[in-house]
């Protein structure tokens, strides 16, 4: 089933964990949750593919987990706070996972963070529809004393 | 009568907890972060709240994807620290205030905010890290009972900023209708800008953060109109946690004194933000002594143009009090 398009799908490099993904990714997230117990971590490490059979996962989801494809897990309904438990089971820090997801190395990623992080400039929108912060003030009619920002108008 | 005297905003980055637990606070990287909370600990020690209400979010510790409550109020007598994969944090068990919590639940639900009541819950770094930052690292017990309010900001959509702000107002009404004389401090935690998921991870937007903090002090209503899309676009997918600060702000007076602010980038993947806001009228109320704290903080980081606005603040005092008494039942 194709995913319903959402306004936030326009944000680049981002998989928003919404109600639809929460349903699709139930198996991924509950698998990750199971890793909070040491005996489960050991069972998983002993035979990963076998352990995953205990959860309702699609073949794509199983593959993403086995390959540690963290972005794909997010796309298929995983949530970062859950998938981080898989990372921890592998002995990886959160920052390591972040580096992996951005296609960077941990030292490079850490250096970027120390230098102030990833800039929002150029990272707001895939389509260029990113006028949320600086809405163009349209020509104002005389009855309107103040130009309403696009964002506040949208909420109505 | 119970009173909310001040609000504290603070990030709750898990790596801060790890740095505390592993004795890394003297490392230059972490010293930069912890030094920003030295004055805050002093402020908290002087303020001595009887109860703290801590607005935070659970990170797949107490709640999985089986149940995702939007607002979950901790009414239990105690909340043990959760095992987040490295064993429970070595912090004292958080003691609750079941009586006040039940009162808040009753008042707020009848005020049409449909809270989930939680009688058994473990609490994770989202709650315990800000407590460490403000209360230090007590060995046996935290200095005051805590009422946790867990907000869903993990699954989209979290409650809107406006809803959060209005819930804050309902909480204040609830606290003020509690008979016992209690001094309450409310925490809003999480943020500031950060994204920890996907190829855009590492996003930081200091300009946006600063504007958020400015408005939190002076024009919180403006913040209540920010749509979720803007939080995620500008402050990162996980930066949407900042709506929780609006519950804290809603529970304060319209006009507040910003007594302290701190901001640094980064702690691990996140921009660390911190603010202390005091209600102005508290000094006039019985049972609450003059605030030496504000004075102690004077001359500290006060990005609000203190000199210029002082007269304005004084002028604003009376109308703000009027508005408050008008709101009373």
Question: Chain A residue closest to B222 (CA)?
Answer: A152
Lowest mean pLDDT among A133-137, B44-48, B98-102, B154-158: A133-137
Q: Does domain A7-114 have CATH number 1.10.760.10?
A: no
Could you tell me whether strands B78-79 and B146-151 are parallel, antiparallel, or unpaired per DSSP bridges? unpaired
What pLDDT is recorded for position A1? 64
Neighbour count for residue B98 (Cβ, 10 Å): 16
pLDDT at A97 > cutoff 90: yes
pLDDT at A143: 46
DSSP H or E run through A63: helix A59-66
A8–B229: do the CB atoms touch at under 8 Å? yes
pLDDT tens digit string along A115-132?
999 999 999 999 886 654
- Which domain does B316 fall in, by range? 3-327
ipTM of this predicted complex? 0.84
Interacting residues of B129 by C-beta distance below 8 A, sequence separation 6+: B10, B11, B12, B13, B14, B16, B17, B20, B189
CA distances from B305 to B216, B255, B273, B301 (A): 15, 15, 19, 10
User: B154: distance to nearest CA of chain A, Å?
Assistant: 7
B110-140: per-residue pLDDT in tens?
999 999 999 999 999 999 999 999 999 999 9
**Separation of alpha carbons B231 and B134, rounded Å:** 26
How far apart are the C-alpha atoms of B92 and B118, rounded to whole Å?
20
Mean pLDDT of A68-90: 97
* Least Cα separation, residue A103 to chain B (angstroms): 7
Question: Which residues does A61 contact at the CB level (< 8 Å), separation at least 6?
Answer: A25, A27, A28, A73, A76, A77, A78
Report the percentage of chain A scoring pLDDT > 90: 75
Residue A130: its pLDDT value, please?
A: 64
Report residue A55: phi and psi, to 5°: -115, 150
| Alpha carbon distances (Å) from B46 to B36, B129, B131, B290 | 17, 20, 15, 11
B50, two tokens: 């009887």
Q: Which tens digits make up the pLDDT trace of B219-232? A: 999 999 999 999 99
pLDDT of residue A131: 58
With a pLDDT cut of 70, the percent of chain A lying above it is 81
Q: Name which of A11, A15, A127 to mutate to probe chain B: the one with the most chain B Cβ atoms within 10 A of its Cβ.
A: A11
Evaluate if residue A55 carries a pLDDT over 80. Answer: yes
Residues of B with catalytic roles: 125, 194
pLDDT the model gives residue B168: 98
Write the residue in A11, A32, A98 that is nearest to B202 by C-beta: A98
Closest residue to A71, CB basis, from B86, B199, B202: B199
- Three-state DSSP string of chain B: CCEEEEEEEECCCHHHHHHHHCCCCCCHHHHHHHHHHHHHHHHHHHHCCCEEEEEECCCCCCCCCCCCCCEEEECCCEECECECCCCECCCCCEECCHHHHHHHHHHHHHCCCCCEEECCCCECHHHHHHHHHHHCCCCCCCCCCEEEEEECCCCECCCCHHHHHHHHHHHHHHHHCCCCCCEEEEEEECCCCCCCCCCCCCECCHHHHHHHHHHHHHCHHHHCCCCHHHHHHHHCHHHHHHHHHHHHHHCCCCCEEEEEEEEEEEECCEEEEEEEEEEHHHHHCCCCCCCHHHHHHCCCCCCCCHHHHHHHHHHHHHHHHHHHHHHCC
Contact B204 A102 (CB under 8 A): no
Are A132 and B230 in contact (CB < 8 Å)? yes
Tell me the CATH number at B49: 3.40.830.10
Enter the tokens of residue B171: 């909480």
Average pLDDT over residues B37-53: 98
Kindly report the length of chain A.
156
Closest CB to A132: pick one of B64, B83, B233.
B233
What's the number of domains chain B is made of? Answer: 1
**Residue B313 distance to chain A (closest CA, Å):** 26
Q: Is the dihedral of CA A96, A101, A106, A107 positive or negative?
A: negative
Contact B161, B224 (CB under 8 A): yes
* Strand pairing class (B270-279; B51-56): unpaired
Minimum Cα–Cα distance from B14: chain A residue: A94
* pLDDT at B322 exceeding the cut of 80: no
In the predicted structure, residue B308 carries a pLDDT above the cut 80: no
Across residues A66-70, what is the average pLDDT? Answer: 98
A32 touches B at CB < 8 Å: yes
Domains in chain A: boundaries: 7-114
pLDDT for B49 beyond 50: yes
> How does pLDDT run across B238-297, given as a tens digit for each residue?
999 999 999 999 999 999 999 999 999 999 999 999 999 999 864 444 444 444 444 445
Give the per-residue pLDDT at A3. 86
Q: How large is the average pLDDT for residues A62-86? A: 97
């Amino acid at each position: 089933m194709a995913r319903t398009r959402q306004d936030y799908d326009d944000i680049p490099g981002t998989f928003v964990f919404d109600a639809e993904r929460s349903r699709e990714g139930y198996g991924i997230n509950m698998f990750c949750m199971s890793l909070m117990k040491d005996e489960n971590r050991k069972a998983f490490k002993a035979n990963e593919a076998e352990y995953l059979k205990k959860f309702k996962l699609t073949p794509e989801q199983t593959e993403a987990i086995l390959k540690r494809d963290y972005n794909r897990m997010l796309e298929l309904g995983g949530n970062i706070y859950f998938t981080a438990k898989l990372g921890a089971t592998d002995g990886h820090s959160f920052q390591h996972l972040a580096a992996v997801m951005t296609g960077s190395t941990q030292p490079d990623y850490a250096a970027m963070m120390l230098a102030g992080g990833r800039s929002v400039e150029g990272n707001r929108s895939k389509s260029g529809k990113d006028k949320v912060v600086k809405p163009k003030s349209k020509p104002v009619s005389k009855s309107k004393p103040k130009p309403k920002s696009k964002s506040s108008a949208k909420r109505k | 009568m119970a009173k909310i005297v001040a609000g504290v905003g603070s990030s709750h980055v898990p790596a801060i907890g790890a740095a505390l637990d592993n004795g890394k606070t003297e490392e230059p990287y972490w010293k930069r972060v912890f030094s920003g909370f030295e004055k805050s600990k002093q402020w908290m020690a002087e303020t001595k709240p009887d109860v703290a209400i801590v607005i935070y979010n659970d990170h797949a510790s107490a709640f999985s994807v089986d149940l995702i409550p939007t607002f979950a109020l901790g009414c239990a007598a105690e909340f043990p620290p959760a095992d987040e994969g490295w064993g429970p944090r070595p912090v004292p068990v958080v003691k609750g205030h079941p009586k006040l919590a039940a009162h808040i639940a009753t008042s707020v639900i009848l005020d049409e905010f449909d809270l989930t009541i939680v009688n058994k819950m473990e609490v994770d770094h989202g709650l315990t890290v800000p407590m460490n930052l403000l209360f230090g690292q007590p060995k046996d017990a935290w200095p005051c009972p805590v009422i946790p309010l867990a907000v869903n900001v993990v699954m989209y959509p979290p409650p809107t900023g406006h809803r959060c702000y209005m819930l804050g107002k309902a909480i204040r009404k609830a606290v003020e209708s509690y008979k016992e004389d209690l001094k309450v401090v409310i925490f809003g935690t999480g943020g500031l800008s950060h994204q920890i998921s996907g190829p855009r991870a590492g996003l930081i937007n200091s300009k946006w953060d600063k504007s958020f903090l400015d408005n939190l002090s002076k024009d919180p209503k403006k913040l209540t109109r920010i749509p979720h899309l803007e939080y995620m676009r500008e402050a990162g997918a996980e930066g949407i946690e900042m709506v929780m600060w609006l519950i804290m702000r809603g529970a304060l007076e319209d006009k507040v004194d910003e007594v302290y602010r701190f901001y640094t980038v980064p702690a691990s993947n996140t921009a660390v933000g911190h603010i202390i806001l005091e209600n102005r009228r508290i000094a006039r109320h019985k049972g609450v002594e003059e605030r030496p704290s504000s004075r102690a903080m004077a001359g500290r980081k006060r990005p609000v143009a203190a000199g210029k606005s002082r007269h304005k603040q004084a002028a604003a005092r009376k109308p703000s009090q009027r508005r408050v008494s008008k709101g009373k039942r």
